[in-house]
């Protein structure tokens, strides 16, 4: 969920006034939505870390993820159920089912768009902020450094029938923003990471964000 750039972070009330509220959805709601979806999907964000650690916290929304290359399949899957909007640089634009339905993501999405928002109609709250990830069904690729990869089978884990992004990968994503909630998630997750996960995160941070303040804790 990324509002337009501003000098100060938006409060929840400001966001709701400009963009509309988000419905309270859970990973099991995502599983129900994508139960018969033919592509790879998973739950990312704070929900993925909560599932791994068991440490609960409030969530503004939920971040399912699918492969960017599978956007046409995703649009066909969502069309009977939810309206789809592109979200880029604070700008929302409807992506109608008949707008180049088989077009690749780079052709139908605005420049810099890496996610779509969904809702039932204009009077309903937003339902799911779906991230569009690079990579293939076999390979997870870090969007900020395509040279950083992992077998998709290793990048995901499953609990109660819901696939989640591995915690060390999710912390790498959160390290870029380093918002207060990202720091809280790091503090809650670090004790649960074994040596292999810490080592991977340390190497990834050193490669992509040298000098990051988390490096001392995970190294």
Residue with tokens 């870390």: 49
* pLDDT value for 11: 74
Q: Is the separation of the CB atoms in 101 and 75 below 8 Å?
A: yes
Check whether 1 has a pLDDT greater than 90: no
pLDDT of residue 9: 65
Average pLDDT, the chain: 93
pLDDT tens digits, one per residue of 83-92: 999 999 888 9
pLDDT at 127 over 90: yes
Q: In this structure, is residue 125 part of a structural domain?
A: yes
pLDDT at 89: 84
Higher local confidence (pLDDT), 201 or 90:
201
Position 41 in a domain: yes
Provide the pLDDT confidence category of residue 34 given band limits of 50, 70 and 90. Answer: very high
Q: Is the dihedral of CA 71, 73, 75, 81 positive or negative?
A: negative
CATH value at residue 58: 3.30.460
Structural domain for 83, as ranges: 17-165
pLDDT in tens, 141-158: 999 999 999 999 999 999
Residue 35 has pLDDT above 90, yes or no: yes
Q: Which helix (H) or strand (E) holds 124?
A: none
Rounded distance, CA 204 to CA 64, Å? 23
Give the model's confidence band at 114: pLDDT under 50 very low, under 70 low, under 90 confident, else very high: very high
Which residues sit opposite 56 in a β-bridge?
none
Residue 218 counted as domain residue: no
Cα 26 to Cα 22: distance, rounded to the nearest angstrom: 12
Q: Is residue 56 domain-resident?
A: yes
* Structural domain includes residue 5: no
Q: How far apart are CA 43 and CA 109, in angstroms?
A: 22
Domain total for the chain?
1
Is 149 within a domain? yes
167-177 helix and 45-53 helix, angle to the nearest 10 degrees: 130
205 falls within a domain: no
- Residue 171 domain-assigned? no
Distance CA 155, CA 141 (A): 9
Location of structure tokens 């709601």: 29
What percentage of the chain exceeds 70 in pLDDT?
95
Phi, psi dihedral angles at 189 (to 5 degrees): -90, -35
For residue 165, the model assigns a pLDDT of 98
**7 phi-psi bin (left φ>0, alpha ψ -120 to 50, beta other):** alpha
């Amino acid at each position: 969920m990324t509002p337009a750039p501003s000098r100060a972070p938006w409060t929840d009330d400001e966001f709701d006034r400009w963009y509309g509220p988000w419905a309270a959805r859970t990973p099991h709601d995502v599983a129900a939505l994508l139960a018969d979806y033919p592509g790879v999907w998973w739950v990312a964000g704070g929900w993925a870390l909560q599932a791994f650690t068991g440490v609960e916290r409030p969530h503004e929304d939920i971040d399912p993820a699918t492969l960017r290359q599978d956007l046409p399949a995703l649009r066909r899957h969502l069309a009977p159920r939810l309206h789809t909007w592109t979200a880029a640089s604070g700008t929302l634009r409807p992506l109608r089912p008949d707008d180049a339905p088989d077009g690749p993501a780079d052709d139908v999405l605005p420049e810099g768009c890496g996610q779509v928002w969904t809702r039932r109609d204009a009077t309903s709250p937003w339902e799911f902020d779906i991230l569009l990830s690079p990579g293939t069904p076999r390979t997870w690729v870090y969007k900020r450094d395509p040279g950083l990869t992992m077998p998709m089978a290793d990048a995901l884990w499953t609990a109660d029938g819901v696939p989640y992004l591995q915690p060390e990968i999710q912390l790498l994503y959160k390290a870029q923003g380093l918002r207060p909630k990202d720091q809280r998630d790091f503090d809650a997750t670090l004790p649960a990471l074994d040596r292999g996960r810490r080592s991977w995160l340390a190497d990834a941070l050193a490669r992509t964000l040298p000098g990051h303040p988390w490096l001392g804790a995970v190294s």
